[in-house]
Amino acid sequence: MRMLLKRSLALLVSIVLVFSLFLGVFPQQARAQDTIKIVGNWQDAGNWNFDSSNIVLSETSTPGLYYGEYTFKTGGSYEFKAVINGSIWCTGAPKVADNNTNIPLNVTDGQTVKFWFFKNSQLVIDSTHFPNGPDSLVGQNSFKFVGVNSEWDPNDGKYQFVRVPDATYTYLYDNSYNDFSIPYGFKIIIGGFGNLSWAWNGAKEGSVVKFKETS
């Protein structure tokens, strides 16, 4: 009886979570006229100066998805972030370290690197880690929950979002048929990178789940 009641309550408060990288579901600090640049520790990337960087990302035909390329004259190890208007510094995966949100690049002479920036979630990825851009966010590198049922392993392959067919990079997690509840505190990450992943903080209010950017 208790199990039946538990399942009935689970269905009653079933949560369908839609994780949209582009649609107007999440806070949008970037606006239509914003300038988005790659800023990093090499000259053309401004040596960490937004105004001096000449690597500007342009919005694609997919609203909210920005794209740009850069060819390195000299190979080596570099670090970067995506920056909106010189004030909003955005990270991706993998990071250099758990407490350092720069993204590493290891390139050869003449190598061209592609950058994709998701405006709503303020996530940047590059072709050295994700060769096919957003289409590489599958399998081990899918978006996933951590914190569900007190499980925080970022590499366990559980609680993964599924891409919605015929949608513009929209991901869904359906909790309708599970006995567990979404906890008050959780995160959404890109799996496979451990603590070096970009993450969104989540907050639960009753049966409503809201996503908030990592501070």
Percent of the chain with pLDDT over 70: 67
Question: Which segment of 1-5, 142-146, 162-166 scores lowest on mean pLDDT?
Answer: 1-5
Looking at residue 145, its pLDDT comes to 80
Higher pLDDT: 46 or 214? It is 46
Residue-wise pLDDT for 145-159, tens only, equals 887 777 888 888 888
Where do the structural domains in the chain lie, given as residue ranges? Answer: 2-27+140-213, 36-135
The answer to whether the beta carbons of residues 65 and 134 sit under 8 Å apart is yes
pTM: 0.77
Cα–Cα distance for residue pair 36/214, rounded to 1 Å: 19
Looking at residue 19, its pLDDT comes to 59
| Strand arrangement, sheet containing 170-174 | 16-20, 170-174, 162-163
Band of residue 177 on the pLDDT scale cut at 50, 70, 90: low
Tell the CATH superfamily of the 36-135 domain.
Immunoglobulins (2.60.40.10)
Give mean pLDDT, residues 105-122.
Answer: 92
Cα–Cα distance for residue pair 127/210, rounded to 1 Å: 30
Give mean pLDDT, residues 116-137.
Answer: 89
Predicted confidence (pLDDT) at residue 94 exceeds the cutoff of 80: yes
Nearest by Cα to 145 from 181, 119, 179:
181
What's the chain's average pLDDT? 77
- The answer to whether the bond into 94 is cis (omega within 30° of 0) is yes
Looking at residue 180, its pLDDT comes to 57
Residue-wise pLDDT for 21-45, tens only, equals 544 444 445 555 789 999 999 999 9
